[in-house]
Structure 1
Amino acid sequence: MGLLTLKEDRPTPKAVYNWRVYASASVASFASCMIGYDSAFIGTTLALPSFINEFQLGLLGAAEKSLISANIVSLYQAGAFFGSLFAYGSTHYLGRRKSLFVFVSIFILGAGLMLGANRERGLGLIYGGRVLAGIGVGACSMIVPIYISELSPPAVRGRLVGLYELGWQIGGLVGFWINYGVNLHVPPTRTQWLIPFAVQLIPAGLLFLGALWIKESPRWLIANGRREQGIENLCWIRNLSPDDIYIIEEVGFLQEEVERYRREVGASFWKPFASLKIRRVQWRFFLGSALFFWQNGSGINAINYYSPKVFSSLGITGTNTGFLTTGLFGVVKTVLTIIWLLYLIDHFGRRNLLMYGALGGSICMWIIGTYIKIAEPEKNPTDTVPPAGIAAIFFFYLWTAFYTPSWNGTPWVLNSEMFDQNTRSLGQASAAASNWFWNFLVSRFTPQLFTALGYGVYFFFASLMILSIFFVFFLVPETKSIPLEAMDRLFDERPVWKAHGRVIEILHVQDEEWRRNADGADLSQDEKMATTVDQRETI
């Protein structure tokens, strides 16, 4: 098999893998550029001499300064938590595309407010802008993975949702390096720290303009009674005619799924909440939330938001040196994310990535923590990093190599796939809110954790990564190449670690039977769709 060879659930025309589906996913992923940029730029911006001088943070005690930094960072996560919940109502009534318009506009308003802060006005505009920007990105973090998964052919769904993660890393890469650049080339005036705050408007503006071009999700349109427009959008995205057998099959699957959940759950705003009484639905909501608990338990957001503190704990001193090391961290993450989305996510599988990533990452964290305990680099500063410190930095980057192609983006892919049509919006809202909730706790209390635990912080994260392996092996099924309409069958299979192979086998048998029955039959499009539904119901 070649590097980009795909494993398909059914014979798929090459036209399906066209530029439109990739371009639509790329445009939507400007939302993740906004998120990634913030996670990277804010910690290093707060460490800029110009920002410290502007708001006279240097006159404060260490505890008070840490509290202000934690508040600036964590208010964003608090806003994102509520934004991801607000997006459920928006996507239900307005759809995916219009909701992106609404929430990117809120983000732009918040980012603009931050630019008005100065010494005289104080930090109030930054606090308020951070909340609004957080609402915007929280909502987008819920909408975009759903939108991409709903327009994706199953064989490249992981890759396309991976573009969302790639956007996150590209935004982070810019965020990590921009402060290195302004610290090196821009005088320490108000302009120095305003530039990083202003740059976040660029991906937001591109998303706002791109949303004028992308199409509404065909699945959402069909589920909301706009069948003809849904078929039209699906044909545009797939680059196929309405009478192509692939389109006929897909529309049949979609229609059957919508009708089944209308019978079992209902289609109103509140009906998905009622479906939470169903144990299999409860279980997937729990899995979605827990995946983000384990993701944040790896320590990634402690590193993202407080990278200067993390690198200083390894013995790296000097503002520019710390920024440079942080920037290299962003480069490593971005390169590995490209490898992840092009090959690993749709070939190696979600489960394997999560388990092997956690195992390797945990070993690295134990080594880093042991070095800090023995050498105490912060208490013994030197002009050059000793050989043991260089080894610790190597293991930090090795940890990044394990974490990035595993826990960094894979939980988003899984959550975009595992929910059915009628609970997908609510499920993704719950998962995104969980992500921002755990993110908030990490960003709010990381400074205190470093103060209280020191090297123990690394042991804490290492232990959580070990525990996540058992969680994934026993509870999370493999979802690669499984159509969204077959996820119920997948999650019903036991044991979990054999579910994927069994469902793929059923799908192949089902498709062969359908094509034998349809071969040579002179049926109308509606009759073919009805036949498709009847054949697929055994799944």
Structure 2
Amino acid sequence: MAFGMSSKRAYNWFISLVAASCMVLYGYDASVFNSVQGSANWVAYFNNPNNGVLGSINTAYTVGAICGGFFFGGPIADYLGRKVGMAIGCAFVIVATFMQTFAPRGNIGCFIGGRALIGIGQGIALTAGPIYIGELAPPEIRGKIMTFWQMFYSVGSFICFWINYATTRAPQLGEWDWKLVIIFQLLVPVIILGLLPIIPGSPRWYIQRNGDVEKARAALRRVRDTEEEVEEEVLQIREALEYEKEAISSGYSALWKDKSLRKRMYLALVMNAGQQLTGQGSLNTYSTKIYQKVFTHESQISLINALNATFGILFTLNAIWFIDRFGRKALLIGGAIGMGICMIIVASVETQTPDIAGGAKSEPVGISIVFLLFLFILFYKPSWGATVWIWTSEVFSMNVRAQAVGMASQTQNVANTIFQQFFPIFLDNDGFYAFYLFAGINFFLGIFVFFWVPETKKVPLEEIDALFGGENHVRQGEEVLANQKIANISPSVPR
């Protein structure tokens, strides 16, 4: 292959991108309701829902996602498999898309039910997807591959916002101006479901769940270049699992029993909550409302949103070059500082310049604010966008990985739900002075990472525990397996 890439390494990229496509579901849906509620036809179809109903629609999705991630995502990925977790999540999204698109006229309850189902589906898929990538990708490219996880969020937003922009330019569509935006959400889950049967399962899951070493070997042979690599990785997985069963716990209780895992859980919760408090969560949810304080034309705002999603794809790609060169920690700290500075300048420019007729800003001021918010995204996407997902998916040991990733990632929705309850009021009362708050949060997050978050660049998953004050599971597992051989006890038989 070109650039010296072997066919198996290329295949590793392919299967990882299939799993990363689960994030397209999240990116699309995070933008879809922001898009359709601007349609006069949607408002009329559901009898002009008030702000309380609109809030319920958002809350239904968030509660569904939190339930899916906290309570269902981990067990499904652990007991049924990573691929089955992704498939179930996609199936939920497909059913929910039909519920929303073809809800009876005036039946907002059906629409809200679809939002709740789509949240549950995404909570399940977004737990299984990054775990699958982390468990199949070799350590030296794991960071680069996981970058596409965040980039595909921007791909989802890109598709949604441009479809929405196109429908606003075609008034002859009538009610289908909002229905088309929703129905296109079928595209990616159908593609994922079609590709899942042809990609390998997780070797770690095969050994962890069924003790099936041969299936694990078969899966690894499809993505590793040599038999030596396959055997070495199988041995590492078995050693780590044996130690976790003997010395820690094979269940989720290890998250509370093991001091090292508790530390990782606390760090992951703060980082995932922080991801949404950087200002990105508010910009994504209320970008239209924010830009309405600067621009008066709806088409301008729609175009800016679409361009924002487009540049978000390009900006996330920066992480590919940086993530395994400079490491996770440097990106997180640099991103936090850059975002904080952007927020201070945005707030200063908007609050210290005069309004023109209609309460908007002059064109040069408006362009400056858009440029600064795009610059904010330039800092956010490769750092607190992509890197938080990468770090979260790689720091937990196999016995708790699925549950921990599900809980940590859904902390994003918990933080977003709480914060977004008062941000619109804050924005209405204080305008762009609210952005000074984001600046302070970003600087705090940079300090937090500097003092408390260790670097995980290129560390094998089975050896990552030692970074957090825990035992090296591979080395400890070597002793367990050696003792079992001496005692002539099969590793698969409980002691």
Letter in 2 for 1:287: L
Q: Which residue pairs with 1:499 in the alignment?
A: none
Structure 1 segments, 4+ long, off by >4 Å, are 14-17, 376-380
1:122 to partner: Cα distance: 2.7
Q: Indicate yes or no: 2:93 matched with 1:107.
A: yes
Partner residue of 1:324 out of 303, 319, 336 = 303
Q: Which residue pairs with 2:235 in the alignment?
A: 252
Find the residue that maps to 1:425 and give its secondary structure. Answer: helix
Q: Which residue pairs with 2:334 in the alignment?
A: 356
Partner residue of 2:289 out of 309, 326, 343 = 309
1:447 to partner: Cα distance: 2.5
1:378 to partner: Cα distance: 8.6
Q: Which residue pairs with 1:397 in the alignment?
A: 374
Contact 1:265-1:272 within 8 A present in 2 as well = no
Gaps of 5+ in 2: 476-480, 486-495
Deviations, residues 86-111 of structure 1 (Å, cap 9, x unaligned): 11111221011112222211221111
Q: Please give the alpha-carbon distance, in whole angstroms, between the structure 2 residues aligned to 1:332 and 1:34.
A: 19
TM-score, with normalisation over the residues of structure 2? 0.90
Q: Indicate yes or no: 2:223 matched with 1:237.
A: yes
1:141 to partner: Cα distance: 1.1
Q: Which residue pairs with 1:287 in the alignment?
A: 267
1:274 to partner: Cα distance: 4.2
Q: Indicate yes or no: 2:128 matched with 1:148.
A: no
Find the residue that maps to 1:18 and give its secondary structure. Answer: helix
> Would you say how many aligned residue pairs link Structure 1 and Structure 2?
473
CA RMSD of aligned residues (A): 2.4
Q: Please give the alpha-carbon distance, in whole angstroms, between the structure 1 residues aligned to 2:22 and 2:187.
A: 11
Letter in 1 for 2:275: Q
C-alpha change, 1:252 and 1:70, in structure 2 (3 Å) is: same
Deviations, residues 424-463 of structure 1 (Å, cap 9, x unaligned): 1121121122122123224444323322432232111111
Partner residue of 1:36 out of 27, 31, 37 = 27
Q: Please give the alpha-carbon distance, in whole angstroms, between the structure 1 residues aligned to 2:416 and 2:223.
A: 34
Contact 1:81-1:436 within 8 A present in 2 as well = yes
1:211 to partner: Cα distance: 1.4
Q: Please give the alpha-carbon distance, in whole angstroms, between the structure 2 residues aligned to 1:194 and 1:400.
A: 29
Q: Indicate yes or no: 2:197 matched with 1:219.
A: no
Q: Indicate yes or no: 2:158 matched with 1:167.
A: no
Letter in 2 for 1:78: V
Greater Cα offset, 301-310 or 195-204: 301-310
Deviations, residues 380-406 of structure 1 (Å, cap 9, x unaligned): 535x73323322222111111111111
Gaps of 5+ in 1: 6-13, 494-502, 511-525, 531-539
Letter in 2 for 1:43: N
Contact 2:31-2:160 within 8 A present in 1 as well = yes
Greater Cα offset, 444-453 or 162-171: 444-453
Q: Indicate yes or no: 2:331 matched with 1:346.
A: no
Q: Which residue pairs with 1:537 in the alignment?
A: none
Deviations, residues 203-241 of structure 1 (Å, cap 9, x unaligned): 11111112122211001111121111111111112254x
Q: Which residue pairs with 1:48 in the alignment?
A: 39
Q: Please give the alpha-carbon distance, in whole angstroms, between the structure 1 residues aligned to 2:325 and 2:171.
A: 45
Contact 1:70-1:447 within 8 A present in 2 as well = no
TM-score, with normalisation over the residues of structure 1? 0.83
Deviations, residues 295-331 of structure 1 (Å, cap 9, x unaligned): 1111112111222112112x11211111001111111
Contact 1:74-1:443 within 8 A present in 2 as well = no
Greater Cα offset, 438-447 or 18-27: 438-447
Partner residue of 2:188 out of 203, 207, 213 = 203
Q: Please give the alpha-carbon distance, in whole angstroms, between the structure 2 residues aligned to 1:444 and 1:208.
A: 35
Letter in 1 for 2:26: I
Q: Please give the alpha-carbon distance, in whole angstroms, between the structure 1 residues aligned to 2:249 and 2:445.
A: 35
Deviations, residues 397-429 of structure 1 (Å, cap 9, x unaligned): 111111111111111100110001111112112
Contact 1:87-1:143 within 8 A present in 2 as well = yes
* Identity percentage of aligned residues: 27
Q: Please give the alpha-carbon distance, in whole angstroms, between the structure 1 residues aligned to 2:163 and 2:342.
A: 28
Q: Which residue pairs with 2:244 in the alignment?
A: 261
Partner residue of 2:438 out of 450, 458, 461 = 461
Letter in 2 for 1:110: A
Find the residue that maps to 2:292 and give its secondary structure. Answer: helix
Letter in 2 for 1:193: W
Letter in 1 for 2:9: N
Q: Indicate yes or no: 2:409 matched with 1:412.
A: no
1:15 to partner: Cα distance: 4.2
